[in-house]
Structure 1
Amino acid sequence: MARLSGLRLIMEDIATSMGSATGREWLNLGIGNPADIPEVSDTWRRMTAEALDDSFGAVSCQYGPSRGLPTLIDAIVGYFNRHYGWDIGPQNVVVGPGSQMLCFIAATLFTGPGEVRDTKLVLPMTPDYTGYQGLSLVPGGVAGVEPILQRQDERSFRYLFDMPAVERLTDVGLMLLSTPSNPTGRCAAPDEIRSLVSAAEAHDVPLMIDNAYGAPFPRIGEVTTPPLRHDRVINVFSLSKTGLPGERLGFAIADERYISPIVSCMANSTLHAPQLVQAALARALNSDVLDSLVALEIGPFYTQRRKFVKSLLLDRLPADIAWRLHEGEGGMFFWVWVDEEWFDDLALYEALKARGVFVVPGRHFFTEPEHSRGLGLHTRQCFRVSVTPDADTITAGVEVIAETLGDMRAGSMRIRDNR
């Protein structure tokens, strides 16, 4: 926890480079922020202003309960019971300062040294959100299960869960995955979720599902599989991708046996999540404003933007290079695999940086990229492209990526010929 992970070093490098006083124009396709959608920003500004006028003294000038504001807890309970037919109560909900903090608390509570055995946080499929790899206080406390790699057509591929490998594990304390996935955009299908639940039951551990890009909000993608209510599942939801990443607000829903210790950990560490934004979210849930934003603004925006970026990549990346896109159903990114022995993701990162473009190298989304058992070079042959910058920035950046890949290939051919 006292040192930056590989990807955080990359993001720090991007921020430092873009913030330097060189006057250089940068094209940042590595950005993880949600897109700037004016209608979304305006709505949150209005919701926050209303909360400010109605309850500033009560929520910003006083401490509150560690579980979350009662008005928000009630709004969450009512929303999920109304929309999904669940039967949850306040005891099943906790609000935290961002979903990542809730994941960290769960990892701290349910994994690590134990009286009977030491356990790990297990990512049942990598690549997955690189922030998960910093959630353990124990060195080596996070393990990832490599996927089965399946080539589709000439320009696409897909990862599949290696369920036998998940089932064979002996040191599981908590399983965690994002769906749709960051970075691939892959949505776990209902039958895959059921298989993971069965594995969690066999290991006698919880399964934590991070719905940061999924249903009910922001619901970015073609697949809108509802979250699963199950006594083994801890569902985590975030406000970040609905337009409020800076406010750090998320919440978890699960059985009381999981939620109660998380509430206690909140009380012992950070007291409670920021309360003014909690009041704004309660208003948005009770009035169905958030559902309207998803249906009318957020969903349509990302549907069109994903189509645009996919078409751009297919049209502009070199035809004589064996590259593929992961078949993703949602999320804010495209995951590109350059299936060539000469390709290296960090080399691409440095070459693009020299030309004023940023992408995110892919190796940091794998837990052991240098010691892959079955994927070989693949863990160092991928990179992530964001769809959230403006269309002109994306177009110009993809042009530079295409040129750079061509130059890398030509350089590799010259080295090979000189041998």
Structure 2
Amino acid sequence: MNLSKFGKKFTQPTGITQLMEDLGNANNSGNPDIVMLGGGNPALIPESNDLFVKELQALISSSKVDSMLGLYDGPLGFDEFREALADMLNDHYGWGLDANNIALSNGSQSNFFSLFNLLAGEMTDGSNNKILFPLAPEYVGYADQGLSDDMFVSIKPKINILENDSASDASHSKQKQFKYEIDFDVLEETLAETHRNIGAICVSRPTNPTGNVITNDELSRLDALAQQYQIPLIIDNAYGHPFPGAIYIDAKLTWNPNTILCMSLSKLGLPGLRTGIVIANHDIINALSRINGVMILAPNSVGPTLMTRMIKDKELLNLCRNVIKPFYEDKAATAVRVFDEVFADQPVYLHKLEGAFFMWLWFKDMDITGQELYTRLKREDVYIIPGHNFFIGIEDDWEHKHQCIRINYAKDEATLRKGLEAIHRIITS
């Protein structure tokens, strides 16, 4: 098959396709002994799921299901949902949004493909703009989104080794832990030299893969730099406030016309509905509307229709506050406890758990690489993600990027323990 340049780029093996192929193969294998700690699938929370099923049944019993399944929405998505979401965010944060500040898509992955290629890559004047990640590691799904080659630049983090703490909350471990911080000296120097070729700054908060939540001060400084250089600031808020609200420290959510805030319904426990959300100024939203019209005609209606009444009646916020956040916070505390027990005798570092549902392990003083560990675990039907995939745009010879792995702890305790014990067995053999 004679492939185009586009075809060759998007059919080569990538970190995100490896992740999704592993997830699909494990889910379809029928093997009850598989330990899947590698995917980004949220947990199925019974109380939440019951509410979603009840809402779907109510839609089926009403005439709304006919329009949900039988009619196209406009290219920005279901109007009633966008209006309800704008009202909710205005009530909650005082942002002054209207429905035309919001665009929907078939999942966040689709949004980032559109946004990255809208703002960066080969420009009309012949120059090439890049997407700047101010804090690596970052979400593996960003890495191969660019239509142009070499479209991403990342700043290495500061690695802050934290004091041991016997506290029992989700963010503390009795074992060695650390936290990544933005190196603003390098970031400011990079922007001063290259800002004319930076199309956007992008950061996830909480961060997939590490569970890091950049501080309010770090976010404020990023916003100030973005506005200083008139560069859009993209915030991937898929795990953040107000839904699903999987943040375990103080973290304020902000928006202004220079911010592009990306949200999702997936982490509520609805990944199959593929609903991504962009909140931005009208120019960005108009551009996304035209891209949607070309690429997908219109976003699917099921997720937005399912959530509209729950948003209007404030039921969704109550669900996040009283069910979803406590569920994941309890999972985080369990993950820390099990980690402490399994690795009590080993120099393994855990990134401080501040949000989302991922553990990021750093094998600082060991010879084994994340890729080697991934390969050996896979032979035992234990799936994790090697960390080097998440260091987008960072030179390959940086040792740290090969010393880390990501684990999804949105599992039952027995599954998590089995996976961590398999890791312990391999690194001590």
**Same-fold call, TM > 0.5?**
yes
Consecutive unaligned residues in structure 1, runs of 5 or more: 408-419
Equivalent AA in structure 2 for residue 74 of structure 1 = E
Consecutive unaligned residues in structure 2, runs of 5 or more: 1-9, 165-175
Query: For residues 93 and 18 of structure 1, do their structure 2 counterparts lie closer, same or farther at Cα, with a shift above 3 Å needed?
Result: closer
Hey, what does 2:304 align to over in structure 1?
Answer: 278
Describe how 1:192-231 pairs up with structure 2 within 5 A. Answer: 192-231=218-257
Hey, what does 2:337 align to over in structure 1?
Answer: 311
1:370 Cα deviation (Å)? 5.0
CA–CA separation in structure 2 for the residues paired with 1:270 and 1:348: 39
Hey, what does 1:131 align to over in structure 2?
Answer: 141
Equivalent AA in structure 2 for residue 122 of structure 1 = L
Contact 2:374-2:384 within 8 A present in 1 as well: yes
Q: Per the alignment, in what secondary structure is the counterpart of residue 215 of structure 1?
A: coil
CA–CA separation in structure 1 for the residues paired with 2:78 and 2:202: 26
Query: For residues 93 and 310 of structure 1, do their structure 2 counterparts lie closer, same or farther at Cα, with a shift above 3 Å needed?
Result: same
* 2:248 counterpart of 1:239: no
Contact 2:206-2:212 within 8 A present in 1 as well: yes
* 2:321 counterpart of 1:295: yes
List per-residue Cα deviations over 1:128-157 (Å, max 9, x = no partner): 111011221111112222111222236011
1:277 Cα deviation (Å)? 2.1
2:288 to 240, 255, 262: 262
Hey, what does 1:37 align to over in structure 2?
Answer: 45
**TM-score (ref. length: structure 2):** 0.89
Contact 1:148-1:159 within 8 A present in 2 as well: yes
Contact 1:31-1:389 within 8 A present in 2 as well: no
* 2:163 counterpart of 1:163: no
Q: Per the alignment, in what secondary structure is the counterpart of residue 199 of structure 2?
A: strand
Contact 1:51-1:276 within 8 A present in 2 as well: no
Q: Per the alignment, in what secondary structure is the counterpart of residue 385 of structure 1?
A: strand
Count matched residues. 402
2:412 to 384, 390, 408: 390
Hey, what does 1:414 align to over in structure 2?
Answer: none
1:91 to 100, 108, 112: 100
1:326 to 348, 351, 354: 351
CA–CA separation in structure 2 for the residues paired with 1:254 and 1:13: 34
Q: Per the alignment, in what secondary structure is the counterpart of residue 83 of structure 1?
A: helix
1:164 Cα deviation (Å)? 2.8
Contact 1:47-1:280 within 8 A present in 2 as well: yes
Hey, what does 2:426 align to over in structure 1?
Answer: 404
Question: How much identity, in percent, do the aligned residues show?
Answer: 28
CA–CA separation in structure 2 for the residues paired with 1:24 and 1:223: 36
Equivalent AA in structure 1 for residue 143 of structure 2 = Q
Hey, what does 2:74 align to over in structure 1?
Answer: 65
CA–CA separation in structure 2 for the residues paired with 1:393 and 1:93: 39
CA–CA separation in structure 2 for the residues paired with 1:17 and 1:94: 34
Equivalent AA in structure 2 for residue 86 of structure 1 = W
**TM-score (ref. length: structure 1):** 0.91
CA–CA separation in structure 2 for the residues paired with 1:4 and 1:289: 42
Q: Per the alignment, in what secondary structure is the counterpart of residue 158 of structure 1?
A: strand
Hey, what does 1:364 align to over in structure 2?
Answer: 389
List per-residue Cα deviations over 1:375-418 (Å, max 9, x = no partner): x31100001111112221112222222111211xxxxxxxxxxx
* 2:376 counterpart of 1:351: yes
Contact 1:317-1:401 within 8 A present in 2 as well: no
Hey, what does 1:3 align to over in structure 2?
Answer: 12
